[in-house]
Amino acid sequence: MKLFEHEVKEIFRANGIAVPPGRVVSDPAGAVVAYEWLHVPSVVIKSQVLVGGRGKAGGIRFAASAGEAAEVTRNLMGFNVKGEIVKSVLVEPRLDISKELYLGITWDRSARAPVIIASASGGINIEDVAHESPEAIKKIHIDPDLGFEPFVGRELAAKVGIPREHSQKFAEITGHMYALFVRYDAELVESNPLALTGDGKLIAADARLNILDDALFRQKEFGAKASDRLSELPLLERKAKQLGVQYVELDGSVGIIGNGAGLTMATLDLVKYYGGEPANFLDAGGGSSEESFLRALGVLAENPKVKLIFVNILAGITRCDDVARAIVKAKTELGLNKPLVIRLAGTNESEGRKILSENGMSAYSAMEEAAKEAVRVARAGEAST
């Protein structure tokens, strides 16, 4: 779950990380009040949306008077920033920035540890820096059992080339960010840019904190708001989340449904191995009922990229007859007309096969054979379009 910039900055401010003063407003009159409250000659007006790249998309603008702040805010309200509609803006002083740094913390799953990432080349093109000049990106892993120690921040400052007079403050900010990373069950804490200002201060000019979805039950303050943050997701992923279905869109043509995350991932791998391109990850759940499986089929039925649906069921708590009935209902009630390749094995398998047979369908027993057939039929569908 992503937090809005203004929410993250409030957290930063309360935990010892300097951020610019600012106000969130949703209309031109509010922008005028914010401009006059700040008492500065120029302000930055930042769209509060849950996507990156706002600056390049026109979602961050400047104003040098109260009237200009009102006009900019009027133009930004309802503005589309990479698929998100602006409903509020953050008005802050325009900083005198002498140097833009990058500082972030995320998980390195290969190392099974948090990794702190820093660069002296921060700003809107940090992704380009990582691609074109990887040597400019410095990383230090943190042992979760030992946690963060101040010398790590100082070591990172030296690697990045932070001037000696600022290295201690940089280390302190790094420590505060790591503490937030742990406290909020984060997958990412980031400041880009972490600005070194003309008067020698280190200020988080931008701030990001993404909470792991699986930890929202612990982060009750934000877990209650999770349903309000679905606008960041593609339409079908949004619908699937509202239905309680684990669904991620990919770029291929083979729609995939499994029961259990491990089986579903293995199905994606097998389809890829046999030369197909998965269109999605969709885990209907290890104990999925007829109703939940029908909902899952309904999501895939709406995906125009899907040329074929590969249903792969290894039933335990899930029952094959429930899955079979859901497939029949999807055809009769949802109007599902995409080709289907079905593999059924496990609990009530014979009952499930009988239901399919009575409705003109059949099922494979072997996962490999079903995957090969799914790839073949999907390719045929692509060739005919």
**What SS3 class is residue 190?**
strand
Residue 240: which pLDDT band, with cuts at 50, 70 and 90? low
Specify the pLDDT at position 230: 52
> 141-172 in b/e burial notation, b at 16+ Cβ within 10 A?
ebeeeeebeeebbbbbbeebebeeebbebbbb
> Do 324 and 293 touch, CB atoms closer than 8 A?
no
Kindly report the average pLDDT of the chain as a whole number.
89
Q: Which of 223, 246, 272 is the last residue of a domain?
A: 223
**207 and 286 share one domain:** no
The reply to whether 12 falls in a domain is: no
**118 and 54 share one domain:** no
Q: Which of 93, 112, 129 is the last residue of a domain?
A: 93
**258 and 374 share one domain:** yes
Is 368 an active-site residue? no
pLDDT one-digit tens code per residue, 266-311: 999 999 999 999 999 998 876 678 888 888 888 888 888 889 999 9
Is 184 an active-site residue? no
**71 and 177 share one domain:** no
What does the alpha-carbon distance between residue 228 and residue 217 come to, in Å, rounded to a whole number? Answer: 16
pLDDT one-digit tens code per residue, 321-359: 999 999 999 998 888 889 999 999 999 999 999 999 999
What does the alpha-carbon distance between residue 30 and residue 260 come to, in Å, rounded to a whole number? Answer: 49
Name the CA dihedral angle for 330, 385, 82, 105, rounded to a multiple of 10 degrees.
80
Structural domain span for residue 339: 233-383
Q: Which of 93, 110, 125 is the last residue of a domain?
A: 93
Specify the pLDDT at position 277: 94
CATH number for position 209: 3.30.470.20
Greatest Cα pair distance in the chain: 78
CATH number for position 81: 3.30.1490.20
Catalytic one of 92, 190, 249, 277? 190
Number of structural domains the chain divides into: 3
The reply to whether 342 falls in a domain is: yes
**306 and 277 share one domain:** yes
**49 and 126 share one domain:** no
pLDDT one-digit tens code per residue, 141-155: 999 999 999 999 999
Specify the pLDDT at position 231: 53
Catalytic one of 5, 92, 100, 102? 102
**169 and 76 share one domain:** no
The reply to whether 6 falls in a domain is: no
Structure tokens at 89: 């803006």
Answer yes or no: is pLDDT of 197 > 90.
yes
Answer yes or no: is pLDDT of 210 > 70.
yes
**83 and 153 share one domain:** no
**370 and 261 share one domain:** yes
The reply to whether 66 falls in a domain is: yes
Q: What is the pTM of this model?
A: 0.70
Single-letter amino acid, residue 52: G
Pick from 25-29, 193-197, 217-221, 317-321: least confident: 217-221
**89 and 116 share one domain:** no
